[in-house]
Structure 1
Amino acid sequence: MKKISSLDQDALTALKTALDGLQRFDSDGTIHPYFRRIINALLGSTDDINVWAIRELINKEDERRSRRTTLQIADPDAFKRIKSLGPQEIRVMKLIGEGYHNEAIAGLLSINIRTVANHKTNIASKLGLATVRDLPRFAQANLTVLQ
């Protein structure tokens, strides 16, 4: 069985959903094949599935991840770099930090999706980030500074 800690957040959510389905639809003691396939794909071959043991492991992993996120120290120069952003760029950064994607940001701010992409490029440049892909992590880590 694979370690729960090796799963990313999306896979962990899929596992929780599969376990929920397993418990809801497993009335006669046989595991529904779809849920078994999902669980096997995420955790490896599991002949005897102890749902409660897996849930306990998931809860411990969720707790570990939330502690890790809480204990991250914000970059002390982040505030100075964030001050260089314009008001619209700040709005875009807040939405990125909250987990929104380009299409949703464009809709919420009533701007073109290409404008969102341009803002992201300019933000990454002003903040000194290596790539635009670093924006979500930076925005999440500094969301309190953006408020």
Structure 2
Amino acid sequence: MSPQFPLTRRVFLGGVSALAATAVARPAAARATDPEVRLHWLDGRGGLHLRNLGVDLPAVMRDVARGEGIPLLDLTARSQALVEGLGEAASWPLYLTLAHDGVDDATHLSRYGAERYAALVADAVAEARSPLARFLRPGRLRR
């Protein structure tokens, strides 16, 4: 599936449903994650994740996972806790920045951000006692 913009609920749901069907066909290690948050601060809260069209991507992902019976690793809540715990200024290095990457981008992760978010996913996999946990190497991810 090629990206379609603007990303509407219908387009997102179609893509997620196709992925879910594949996961259901291979249930041994199937897990879903909802999206990580963007660096967006409003009224002292960080990491909101609503598209400019008002599509609540995490809610759509949770609905599909529940409907297909696929366990969900809640990356939205984990990443929001990380962003809010760091605070607005300290959260910027998680994302692409003008100083390091030549662009200010509150959506796409820097290498540092990808490593921190990978640790969130690994923690969720371990806590869920997923069969995937046997492939984790404790201490190898940046926290």
The TM-score by the shorter chain falls in which range? under 0.3
TM-score (normalizing by structure 1): 0.24
**Richer in strand (by share):** 2
TM-score (normalizing by structure 2): 0.24
**Richer in helix (by share):** 1
